Amino acid sequence: MSGGPALALVAPEGPSIAPETIVLGLPLARRTVLAARRAGFSRVTVVGATPALAAALQGAGAELVPEAPPGAVRLAWNVVAQTKEMRELASGAEAVGAPVSSPADLPRAETLLLKGLIKDTEGFMSRYFDRAISLAVSRRLAGTRITPNQMTLIAVGIGLVAAPFFLSSRPPVQLAGGILFLLHSILDGCDGELARLKFQESRSGGVLDFWGDNVVHMGIFAAMAAGLARSTGQGWPLACGASAVLGTAVSAWVVYRRTMTGPKDGPLFTSVATRRETAVSRIADALSRRDFIYLVLIMSVFGKADWFIVLAAVAVPAFFLALLVVAWNDRRVARSVS
């Protein structure tokens, strides 16, 4: 991003909190510098840094200078801003973020950063329920040594522990599995939240998260199929399980190969479409979200969660077919452009 503008961080006008004040796990001024660099500023300078400010910025990639470079965008170093707000600043926005002048301003600044972690593609339950919990957890974990990848493995572990509970047809046992499955889904949001809060996003982390989710889903589907086969004494649930598990595996492979292997800024997966959104791609995106876990939870209250495998046996292959349609449309668009 060498072609981006330069940024000059200057002393705030009026009172300000200490630059080493921790905001969600990082010193305030350091967080501002890292957000600016992630937003694409080609050069980030700090004008007239005090010893305390210089110490807070050590290793962050900021230049300490006596005066602002000509033409640089100016911003007070005590302004906390999301990366997307920093991009807006680079594009000419006049005011971004939230200045932190006293400890009383910290909650507002933290809330601004946390709200910026909610994706536009969230499902309804994920946006209004899951995120409320996962953001509260991430808020408390931001200052710890827990890494995003460790959080991914914790969430995957909880999801795999949930699977055996669906071998039973007893409502209390299934409900325990449903709660663990939902807990997996909620905590699975924390890895990406921590990665963005700590500026530790990585391709390997995104891949681990993606495949971890799919392994959990395959384990849940397999357990549901085995449990339903046991309770009914028939073999057809195993065929449903094979359809759901195999469909999940091949769908995940197609999505991974098409959307996650090439160069890309930002999250590795945002949509099944790589060229142009269509009605089919919107349906496929909706099917890829995890609001279905709430249906599993409701069914588990009545000891019927294992019957979800019948729906999955149809919905997952349908999702795979939708992926093929989206891939064909993307190739058609690519040929028309070239």
- Dihedral-angle region of residue 97 (phi above 0 means left; psi in -120 to 50 means alpha; beta otherwise): left
What is the rounded distance in angstroms from the CA atom of residue 209 to the CA atom of residue 207? 5
Per-residue exposure over 41-68, b if at least 16 CB sit within 10 Å of its own CB, e if not: bebbbbbebeeebeebbeebebeebeeb
- For 4-34, the pLDDT digits (tens) are 788 999 888 877 788 889 999 999 889 989 9
For residue 197, name the pLDDT band (cuts at 50, 70, 90).
very high
* Mean pLDDT confidence for 205-211: 92
Helix 308-337 and helix 279-288: axis angle, to 10°? 140
Domains of the chain: residue spans and CATH: 6-90 (no CATH), 124-337 (1.20.120.1760)
CB count in 10 Å sphere of residue 332: 12
Strand 73-76 and strand 26-27: the pairing is: unpaired
DSSP string across 165-206: GGG---HHHHHHHHHHHHHHHHHHHHHHHHHHHTT---HHHH
Name the β-bridge partners of 63: 45
> 79 — phi, psi (to 5°)?
-90, 125
What is the rounded distance in angstroms from the CA atom of residue 210 to the CA atom of residue 141? 21
What is the rounded distance in angstroms from the CA atom of residue 94 to the CA atom of residue 92? 6
CB 186 within 8 A of CB 158: no
Instruction: Say whether pLDDT at 278 is over 50.
Output: yes
Instruction: Say whether pLDDT at 231 is over 80.
Output: yes
- For 48-88, the pLDDT digits (tens) are 888 888 888 888 888 999 998 888 899 988 889 888 888 88
Task: Supply the pTM of this predicted model.
Answer: 0.85
Residue with tokens 């170093």: 77
- For 97-133, the pLDDT digits (tens) are 888 999 999 999 999 999 888 876 676 777 778 888 9
What is the rounded distance in angstroms from the CA atom of residue 132 to the CA atom of residue 145? 22
For residue 96, name the pLDDT band (cuts at 50, 70, 90).
confident
Where do the H-state alpha helices sit in the chain? Answer: 28-39, 51-56, 83-90, 106-115, 124-125, 131-141, 148-162, 171-197, 203-232, 236-259, 279-288, 292-301, 308-337
- For 139-186, the pLDDT digits (tens) are 999 999 999 999 999 999 999 999 999 999 999 999 999 999 999 999
Rg (CA), the chain: 24
Which contiguous run of DSSP H or E holds residue 82? none
Sequence-ordered list of residues with C-beta below 8 angstroms from that of 113, at least 6 positions apart, any chain: 23, 24, 80, 82, 197
Q: How far apart are the first and last CA of the chain?
A: 26
Residue type, 55: A
For residue 282, name the pLDDT band (cuts at 50, 70, 90).
low
Q: What is the pLDDT of residue 1?
A: 44
Residue type, 52: A
Q: What is the pLDDT of residue 181?
A: 97
